[in-house]
RNA sequence: GGGGGUAUGGCGGAAUCGGUAGACGCAGCGCACUUAAAAUGCGCAGGCGGCAACGCUGUGGGGGUUCAAGUCCCCCUACCCCCACCA
């Protein structure tokens, strides 16, 4: 008897990873049978080290890719690097390293860690956004936007990050007014900036959310809210002079409550409104200027405070209410946003909370024009009535409902030339300018004579200059490179200046999924043929943090490129899976607030501060360095192997939920893989091999026929086949679109448990069917172990011509309905809806038989006490409910 | 303030169209193996009562529909996420 072998993942994983690469098992089949399938993970920023969030993301996508391969699809499963961005530049500033080399060495380090996970990635299509063979096409695409009139420059009040010395998009500023990267309090500045006109596509981006039924509802709702469509009216208030005579100037306000127009007691502009300066009266000059300064200096924190007061000043002008001719004052206030609607609103204190507060503050009149339906009188002392109702004090519109009045007043405005219906979006145009070095240069040249001139396509890429000095202060390093900045105009040849802004890195990531379809194309970013062949992405996997920005921008790109004829589909990602985050066990001293590393906690069942001995709070939280709760993937792989890490991550929680990393559970997962190893090893020892049921051996079908003629299957065989084919059915369902990897893994465990019980009592052909099936079902989850056991079970030398080859080129099994059929099934007996027992009944019994069996059962006798039930419900295959 | 989501044993989580709640695993307990421990194997396990058969109870709380509710409807509570002075 030979010594049983032991499962040593470290010995087999590296071996198979090399084999798969050498045999090009993960190469993308451009041609051949099978429909294309595109599995994509959100590509990482090359920070230099892989964290558990990455691991979870890529393992999920890898399982999807591997399952689809086994099902005969031609799979594209690529990977790349979102490689522009601030950390590289910060490293340059702090340590004087070259951002390009820093990034490349990080990529090399992460690539090595990725390889240890056994991911079936086609590295032939790897792309790196900071390499010029990629970003030349980012520039090329920018020029497409420019040509389409969708890229433009304008002066804008921008978010200025005083630490990173750069402009941030609204989306990169958090709720407290801090930079998403540096954490600095953001200030305001006015600069000439490049924008992409995403608002031109607002309606389409909203409408087409309906097409995305493979996306989580949550993400679709978030995008819809972000786009924020609202229907209302633009109404014009005529500015009057000191004597009350109309001037030519008009103030246009946007409102969703045209029905409240007669209740307007003032009109208020954003402090940044362009007409503020010209309309301010001489007397009000000083307070208005002072107020605008105050607002400009106001920190984001002050402006977003919970109970922020509304402040404003009158500018000394009046406007005429177009509905009733009344003259009302013009104010400016900090609660009016300059970049939404028209930057001006009518103040209706009786029917808007904010206006009400403002009116209270400055003693402005509160005029009630809407009463709740059926109410004759209502006090306006307590607050604004903001619901719909019936109009009063509104001249000809009295008695109309809010809904009717909105239409009627808007129609009157249109007829009278003082307003119109208006659809307003919350979505703002996308500010893409960054005053940074480490980004994709915007390929335009500024010429005094010709204006903005695009760099001719044949001159792309505009390469980022190397050997740049980084001071970390002031303007972008690019602006200081005279040789680079000064060029001649491509149009007229006169001296001109390069644009020194680079693009928001979201530009680079808005089209990378297209490039993978044709990653080595030197003529175009991608050919129409390749992109239409592989896209849309069948399954996209990534973090929920990209629910709005990256996914919205990518959808926008796709629609613009479709309209330019570069591709032939409407949406880039058919299905989206947003995986939950990975949390680590976290200890905190509730007295001091200090976080304690798990390694310093002596007894996890009674965690105490290693210094003070105080008891600690224990909880799970997103892994982060500052909380010492991170788990290093490399350490886990070294100890347990990639297969255990993969299985654990998939089993521990459903993919979209947060996952609590627990060492004890990892240990348990490792034990399961060891059990599988022993199970197959013992089978091989007994002489079982994949040759049973294959080649000249009778097939499973033959064996079933032989057995049928010879007294049928043994109990063990029936149980075994039932378990095998139940597992096939269940796991196939779990992996069919709505991914439930956790239950799929548990089905593998059930199958393995059943095999441990029934393998020995079964004939080799059936035992072998079970082993073969188990390994193929396991292969997407634990690819190395499955491959190794597959080889051992072949019972042949690898060079033998009959060898069946890699497990990863096998076909996914299909369930044999015959194996799922049972002679008898348990029937639940309920009395008045309560379960009172079980009855083993023939599986094919009809309703009448089931009723008869139930009524004759001991259970019925005992609970009905001889009385006939008043009602009997029979659910074949499930239960009989007897109601006395 | 608006929108979305979640709530099931000690823990992570299962449960198709309303049909045996707690699959699978972790932790725990018992037994076997061992000089012992580890490892491994077998078994127990929602709660309460009972020696047991068994009974009662049980999916955040309250009501409802139904022969039957974790699942459907109404109300409430707690927590999480996104947006937020968007007129």
The most confident of A44-53, A131-140, A611-620, A735-744, by mean pLDDT? A131-140
The distance of Cα A490 from the centroid of its chain, to the nearest Å, equals: 42
Mean pLDDT of chain A: 89
Nearest-nucleotide field for A674 (CA, C1'): B40
Lowest mean pLDDT among A678-692, A707-721, A787-801: A787-801
What pLDDT is stored for residue A2 in this prediction? 47
CA dist., res. A402 & res. A412, Å (int): 15
Give A751-790 pLDDT, tens digit per residue.
999 999 888 888 888 999 999 999 999 999 999 999 999 9
Tokens for A549, please give them: 């920005």
What is the rounded average pLDDT of the residues A854-882?
78
3-class secondary structure, A577: strand
Give A443-469 pLDDT, tens digit per residue.
999 999 999 999 999 999 999 998 888
What pLDDT is stored for residue A605 in this prediction? 74
Nearest-nucleotide field for A880 (CA, C1'): B19
Other Cβ atoms within 10 Å of A811 Cβ, number: 10
Question: Which residue did the predictor score with more confidence, A603 or A112?
Answer: A112
Residue with CA nearest to B27's C1' atom: A664
Query: With 70 as the cut, is the pLDDT of residue A300 above it?
Result: no
What pLDDT is stored for residue A840 in this prediction? 78
Lowest mean pLDDT among A13-17, A119-123, A172-176, A806-810: A172-176
pTM greater than the 0.90 cutoff: yes
Q: Residue A208: which pLDDT band, with cuts at 50, 70 and 90?
A: very high
Q: Are residues A443 and A492 in contact, defined by beta-carbon separation less than 8 angstroms? A: no
> Residues 809-848 of chain A: which lie with beta carbon within 7 Å of strand B?
826, 828, 830, 832-836, 838
Q: Quick check: A410 CB within 7 A of strand B?
A: no
- Integer-rounded Cα radius of gyration of chain A: 35
**ipTM strictly over 0.85?**
yes
What is the rounded average pLDDT of the residues A156-177?
68
Give A417-437 pLDDT, tens digit per residue.
999 999 999 999 999 998 889
3-class DSSP string for A439-499: CCECCEEEECCCEEEECCHHHCCCCCCCCCCCCCCCCCHHHHCHHHHEEECCCCCCEEEEC
Q: Are residues A253 and A234 in contact, defined by beta-carbon separation less than 8 angstroms? A: yes
Instruction: Measure, in angstroms, how far nucleotide B28 C1' is from residue A61 CA.
Output: 36
Q: Quick check: A217 CB within 7 A of strand B?
A: yes
Question: Which residue did the predictor score with more confidence, A165 or A729?
Answer: A729
Other Cβ atoms within 10 Å of A569 Cβ, number: 14
Helix pair A52-70, A633-640: axis angle to 10 deg: 60
The CA-atom distances, in angstroms, between A296 and each of A158, A186, A732, A803 are: 11, 12, 59, 75
Give A609-658 pLDDT, tens digit per residue.
888 888 888 888 888 888 888 899 999 999 999 999 999 999 999 999 99
Instruction: Measure, in angstroms, how far nucleotide B40 C1' is from residue A688 CA.
Output: 23
Other Cβ atoms within 10 Å of A800 Cβ, number: 10
CA dist., res. A503 & res. A130, Å (int): 12
Query: With 50 as the cut, is the pLDDT of residue A1 above it?
Result: no
The residues pairing with A250 across neighbouring beta strands, listed in sequence order, are A238
Instruction: Measure, in angstroms, how far nucleotide B76 C1' is from residue A371 CA.
Output: 30
Helix pair A741-758, A642-652: axis angle to 10 deg: 110
Instruction: Measure, in angstroms, how far nucleotide B6 C1' is from residue A255 CA.
Output: 36
């Amino acid at each position: 008897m030979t010594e049983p072998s032991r499962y040593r993942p470290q010995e087999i994983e590296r071996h198979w990873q090399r084999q798969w690469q050498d045999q090009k098992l993960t190469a993308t089949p451009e041609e051949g049978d099978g429909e294309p399938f595109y599995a994509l993970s959100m590509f990482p920023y090359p920070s230099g080290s892989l964290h558990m969030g990455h691991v979870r993301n890529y393992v999920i996508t890898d399982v999807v890719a591997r399952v689809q391969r086994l099902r005969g699809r031609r799979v594209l499963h690529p990977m790349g690097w979102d490689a522009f961005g601030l950390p590289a530049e910060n490293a340059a500033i702090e340590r004087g390293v070259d951002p390009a080399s820093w990034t490349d060495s990080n990529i090399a380090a992460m690539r090595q860690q990725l390889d240890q996970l056994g991911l079936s990635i086609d590295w032939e299509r790897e792309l790196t956004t900071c390499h010029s063979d990629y970003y030349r096409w980012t520039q090329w695409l920018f020029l497409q936007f420019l040509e389409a009139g969708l890229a433009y420059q304008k002066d804008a009040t921008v978010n200025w990050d005083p630490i990173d010395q750069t402009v941030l998009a609204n989306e990169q500023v958090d709720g407290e007014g801090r930079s998403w990267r540096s954490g600095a309090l953001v200030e305001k500045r006015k600069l000439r900036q490049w924008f992409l006109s995403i608002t031109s596509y607002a309606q389409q981006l909203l409408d087409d959310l309906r097409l995305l039924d493979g996306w989580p509802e949550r993400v679709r709702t978030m995008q819809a809210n972000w786009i924020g469509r609202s229907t209302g009216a633009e109404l014009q208030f005529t500015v009057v002079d000191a004597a009350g005579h109309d001037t030519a100037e008009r103030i246009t306000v946007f409102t969703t409550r045209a029905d409240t127009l007669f209740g307007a007691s003032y009109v208020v502009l954003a402090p940044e409104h362009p007409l503020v300066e010209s309309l301010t009266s001489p007397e009000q000059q000083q307070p208005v200027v002072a107020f605008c300064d105050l607002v400009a200096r106001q920190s984001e924190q002050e402006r977003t405070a919970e109970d922020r007061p509304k402040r404003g000043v009158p500018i000394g002008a009046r406007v005429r209410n177009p509905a009733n001719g009344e003259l009302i004052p013009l104010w400016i206030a900090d609660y009016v946003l300059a970049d939404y609607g028209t930057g001006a609103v009518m103040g209706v204190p009786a029917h808007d909370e904010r206006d009400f507060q403002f009116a209270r503050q400055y003693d402005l009149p509160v005029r009630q024009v809407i009463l709740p339906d059926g109410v004759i009188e209502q006090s306006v002392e307590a607050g604004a009535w903001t619901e719909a109702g019936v109009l009063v004090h509104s001249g000809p519109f009295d008695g109309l409902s809010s809904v009717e009045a909105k239409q009627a007043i808007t129609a009157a405005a249109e007829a009278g030339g003082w307003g119109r219906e208006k659809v307003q979006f919350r979505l703002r145009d996308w500010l893409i300018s960054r005053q940074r070095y480490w980004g994709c240069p915007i390929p335009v040249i500024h010429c005094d004579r010709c204006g903005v001139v695009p760099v001719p396509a044949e001159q792309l890429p505009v390469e980022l200059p190397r050997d740049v000095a980084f001071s970390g202060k002031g303007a972008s390093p690019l602006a200081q490179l005279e040789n680079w900045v000064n060029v001649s105009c491509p149009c007229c040849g006169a001296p001109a200046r390069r644009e020194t802004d680079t693009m928001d890195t979201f530009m680079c990531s808005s089209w990378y999924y297209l490039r993978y379809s044709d990653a080595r194309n030197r003529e175009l970013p991608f050919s129409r043929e390749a992109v239409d062949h592989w896209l849309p992405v069948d399954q996209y996997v990534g973090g929920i943090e990209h629910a709005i920005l990256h996914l919205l921008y990518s959808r926008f790109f796709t629609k613009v490129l479709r309209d330019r004829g570069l591709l032939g589909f409407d949406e880039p990602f058919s299905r989206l899976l947003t995986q939950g985050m990975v949390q680590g066990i976290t200890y905190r001293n509730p007295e001091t607030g200090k976080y304690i590393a798990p390694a310093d906690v002596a007894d996890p069942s009674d965690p105490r501060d290693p210094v003070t001995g105080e008891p600690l709070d224990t909880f799970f939280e997103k892994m982060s360095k500052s909380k010492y709760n991170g788990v290093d993937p490399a350490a886990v792989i070294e100890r347990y192997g990639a297969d255990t890490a993969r299985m654990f991550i998939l089993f521990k929680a459903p993919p979209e939920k947060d996952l609590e990393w627990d060492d004890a559970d990892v240990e348990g997962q490792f034990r399961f893989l060891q059990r599988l190893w022993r199970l197959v090893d013992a089978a091989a020892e007994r002489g079982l091999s994949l040759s049973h049921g294959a080649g000249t051996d009778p097939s499973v079908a033959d064996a079933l026929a032989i057995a049928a003629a010879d007294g049928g299957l043994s109990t063990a065989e029936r149980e075994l086949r039932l378990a095998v084919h139940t597992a096939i059915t269940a796991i196939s369902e779990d992996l069919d679109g709505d991914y439930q990897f956790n239950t799929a893994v548990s089905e593998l465990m059930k199958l393995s448990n059943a095999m441990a019980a029934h393998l020995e009592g079964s004939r080799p052909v059936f035992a072998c069917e079970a082993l073969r099936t188990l390994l193929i079902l396991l292969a997407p989850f634990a690819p190395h172990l499955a491959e190794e056991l597959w080889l051992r079970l072949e019972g042949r030398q690898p060079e033998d011509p009959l060898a069946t080859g890699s497990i990863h080129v096998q076909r996914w099994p299909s369930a044999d309905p015959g194996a799922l059929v049972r002679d008898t099934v348990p029937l639940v007996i309920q009395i008045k809806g309560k379960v009172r027992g079980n009855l083993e009944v023939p599986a094919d019994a009809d309703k009448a038989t089931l009723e008869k069996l139930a009524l004759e059962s001991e259970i019925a006798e005992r609970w009905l006490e001889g009385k006939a039930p008043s009602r009997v419900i029979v659910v074949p295959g499930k239960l009989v409910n007897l109601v006395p």
